[in-house]
Amino acid sequence: MLQKYNSLPYNQDTAPCLCRVRQSASAKGVRKMRATIKDVAKECGVSVSAVSMALSDKPSRISEDTRQKVREAAARLNYHPNRAALSLVNRKSRMIGIVMNDVRNTHIAALFMAVNRELSGTGYSLISHILEERTQDAGLKLINQIASENVAALVWARPLETDKQEELSNLRKNVEGLGIPVITMDDYGFDCPGADVCFDYRQGGFLATRHLLELGHRRIGCLAGDQFYYVTQERIEGYRQALEEFGVPYDEKLVYYGDYSMDSGYEAFSYLMGQRVSAIFSSNDEMAFGIYRAARNYRIRIPKDISLVGFDNVPFADIMETPLTTVRVPSVEMGSFIGRALIELLGESENTERKKVFYKPDLLRRGSAVEREL
C-alpha cells in the first residue's frame, strides 16, 4: 500500500493546498487561550478576589506591593478584565447608551466625539443606537433592548417631535422606568436624574434671518428641516420673528421642508430660486452645502446672485471657496458638558436634582451673504 501511494503522480495544483491544511491544523493546536483572572491569581499566588481588588481603582485592603505585583502579572499575561462580567457581579454597568436618529451629520459627530473624550480613561464605554423609525413600537422595542443591556446611563439625543404628545407621555414613562440617569438634547419633560442640554434654535433662526434683512434682502427663502421636529419649528419661529421685526410678511411658499441632508438642500435650490428669492436661510450647514452644489451646477454665484446663511458651523463651513456665513452651535462645548455630567451622575454624589442647560447662538459673518444689489 505504501509503495502504491508513493507511485502516485505529484499534483502541483493540490500540493500547496494540502500544505496549507497541515499548517492550519498545526497552528490551531498551539493557539493560546485568552488569559483569565484565575491565571493572574495563580501567577501571583493570591486569590481571585485579591486580583479583582488589585485591578480596581477603588480603595481596598490590598497592599500597594500586592497591587503592583498583580498589575505586572496582568500586563505580562495580557489579561484584560471582562467589563460586562464585572457589571453583572458588581451590579454596576460600565456602559452608557446613546440614542440618536442620524450619525451622518458632522455636527452630531463632533458633539459625541467630545462626549467620548471626556469619558476616556474613566472605564465607561459608549454604546450607540440609531432610531430612524418614528413609530411608538420602534421606540418601545429599543427601550426594551436598552434595558437588557444594563446600561448605567442614557443620552437620548433623538430630536423631540411636536406631533406626538400621547407617544411622548409613553416615552417618558418607559425611559424613566429604566431607573437610570438620562441626558437629553431637548426638553422632554423627564423627572429622573440627569440634564436637559438645550440650544436656543429660535434665537439662531432670528439672528440668521435678521442678518439677511439688514443686508437689504426682503424675499428670503427658508430651507427648513423635518417639519415634525421641535428644533425645526423653533428655527422657523426665529425666521418669522425677524421678518415681523422688519415689517416683511411671512410667506409660507418661501419655506421648503428638507430633511437636514445635503441632498435635500440640493433638491430645494431650484424650488426656492423659482420663488425669486434673493437669499436663503438654511436650517443647517449640510443642506447649505447642497445649495452650493446646486448653485454651481446652475452657474449661479454665491453670494453675487444669491446670499446664503447656514446653521451649525460644522468643520467644513469656513473652507468653502466662498466661506459660509453661519450660526455657531457650540457642539464641542455641549458634548464636553454631557461627558462631565455623566461622570458626575455616575459618581458618588447623591445630588439627583435634574439640571437644565441652555446654550446661546453666535452668528459668524463670512463671505456667503452680502448686501442685495438694487
Of 241, 160, 208, 158, nearest in space to 329 by CA: 208
Q: What is the chain's Cα-based Rg? A: 29
Q: pLDDT tens, 103-154?
A: 777 788 888 899 999 999 888 989 888 887 767 778 788 888 888 888 999 9
pLDDT-derived band at 347 (thresholds 50, 70, 90) equals confident
Helix (H) or strand (E) holding 335: helix 331-345
Intrachain domains 93-199+332-359 and 201-329 with the same fold:
yes
Distance from the Cα of residue 9 to its chain's centroid: 63
With contact defined as beta carbons under 8 Å apart, do 46 and 65 qualify?
no
Residue 29 backbone phi and psi in degrees, to 5: -70, -25
Q: Architecture of 201-329 per CATH?
A: 3-Layer(aba) Sandwich (3.40)
- Which position has the grid cell 452650493? 292
pLDDT surpasses 80 at 61: no
- Return the higher-pLDDT residue of 40 and 277: 277
pLDDT at residue 294, as a whole number? 98
pTM, to two decimals: 0.75
What is the four-CA torsion angle of 304, 305, 310, 315, rounded to 10 degrees? -50
Q: Which residues contact 367 (CB under 8 A, 6 or more apart)?
A: 303, 322, 323, 325
For residue 152, give the 3-state DSSP assignment: coil
pLDDT at position 75 = 84
Question: What ranges do the domains of the chain cover?
Answer: 33-75, 93-199+332-359, 201-329
CATH class belonging to 93-199+332-359: alpha beta
317-340 confidence digits (pLDDT tens): 999 889 999 999 999 999 999 999
Q: How far apart are CA 108 and CA 261, in angstroms?
A: 13
Q: pLDDT at position 322, please?
A: 95
**Cell numbers given for 45:** 499566588
Q: If you ran DSSP here, which 8-state letter would residue 253 be given?
A: G
pLDDT at 42 over 80: yes
Minimal CA–CA distance to 208: which of 331, 317, 106?
317
